Amino acid sequence: MVWFRKKKVSSTDPNDRSLKVPEGLWVKCANCGEIIYKKEVERNLNVCPKCDYHFRISARSRLAVILDEGSFIEHDEGLIASDPLEFKDLKKYKERLKSSQKKTGLSDAFVSGVGAIDSKKVSIGVFEFAFMGGSMGAVVGEKITRVLERGAEAGIPALVISSSGGARMQEGIHSLMQMAKTSAAIARLRELGVPYISILTDPTTGGVTASFAMLGDIIIAEPRALIGFAGPRVIEQTIGEKLPEGFQRAEYLLEHGMIDMIVDRKTMKRTLSRVISMLSGT
């Protein structure tokens, strides 16, 4: 004798806990912990509508936010990293490159070219953090240098938007050389009186921070972006002291004069347009 039977519930019944919610519909904010409908976050330019936390976005998404629609012309997309040291840790460097190229659809961790902001032409480059943590190897350094050189040749502002863990260890000294190379290109740009604007997003660390990222005529950061050379945990372990609240966040750097302004993603294009006009005298 059957004492109980399972009740069949229609798939439209809202009380049916067996219903599976499709993956990817919701995102959790890393700052406030709220679970938010993904499309709502995307409509808000990937900024949390509850606490204004700025989610990391891809290089191409950032270009779409900042540049006039249809104005971007990509350059140097064919540059591909080699493996000068034949480096291997848990995986071969060549395998890591192939994996990141497949994952992102990019040849390396930097997208560059020319575009326009409110019809003002700019030479621009953006890091892709999803490609090996946005690390800077020889190809990335070369692309950044070319962004600066295009700005110098055309007499148009150069913009670099950083999101990087720093120098790419798999390329050793070849990677570290890019710090001097990009800094020298900025010096040449400055001699010509051409503006260079550096935009720091979360995170901007290591050799990137120690070179071109902090050399802008104007340095802008997104809210709460982590900016520094070594990470807070490494510094605490090294000096044996507790760091101040908010140390290495954009707000702390602004308070201590390390950056010029903090700009919300939703107003970044408008702010850049004003800054370019101010620096260019247009």
The whole-chain average pLDDT of the chain stands at 92
Domain layout of the chain by residue ranges = 22-55, 57-280
Residue 2: band (very low, low, confident or very high) from pLDDT cuts 50, 70, 90: low
Does 5 score more than 70 pLDDT?
Answer: no
* Mean pLDDT on 121-149: 98
Of the options 3.30.750.24, 3.90.226.10, 3.40.50.150, 3.30.420.40, the CATH number for the domain spanning 57-280 = 3.90.226.10
Does 126 score more than 60 pLDDT?
Answer: yes
1 or 201, which is more confident: 201
12 or 281, which is more confident: 281
Residues of the chain with pLDDT > 70, as a percent, come to 91
Using CA atoms, how far apart are residues 137 and 178, in angstroms rounded to an integer? 7
Does 80 score more than 80 pLDDT?
Answer: yes
Residues of the chain with pLDDT > 90, as a percent, come to 88
Q: Amino acid letter at 198?
A: S
Using CA atoms, how far apart are residues 191 and 6, in angstroms rounded to an integer? 79
Q: What angle do CA 212, 217, 221 make, to 5 degrees?
A: 70
Residue-wise pLDDT tens digits, 91-114 = 999 999 999 999 999 999 999 999
What pLDDT sits at residue 280? Answer: 84
Does 3 score more than 70 pLDDT?
Answer: no
Residue 232: band (very low, low, confident or very high) from pLDDT cuts 50, 70, 90: confident
* Mean pLDDT on 218-235: 94
* Mean pLDDT on 60-72: 97
Terminal CA-to-CA distance of the chain, rounded, Å? 88
Does 7 score more than 90 pLDDT?
Answer: no
Does 9 score more than 50 pLDDT?
Answer: no
Using CA atoms, how far apart are residues 163 and 58, in angstroms rounded to an integer? 10
Please indicate, yes or no, whether the overall pTM of this predicted structure exceeds 0.85: yes
Residue-wise pLDDT tens digits, 11-59 = 455 445 444 545 679 999 999 999 999 999 999 999 999 999 999 999 9
Residue-wise pLDDT tens digits, 137-188 = 999 999 999 999 999 999 999 999 999 999 999 999 999 999 999 999 999 9
Using CA atoms, how far apart are residues 254 and 246, in angstroms rounded to an integer? 11
Does 4 score more than 70 pLDDT?
Answer: no
What pLDDT sits at residue 233? Answer: 87
Using CA atoms, how far apart are residues 172 and 239, in angstroms rounded to an integer? 26
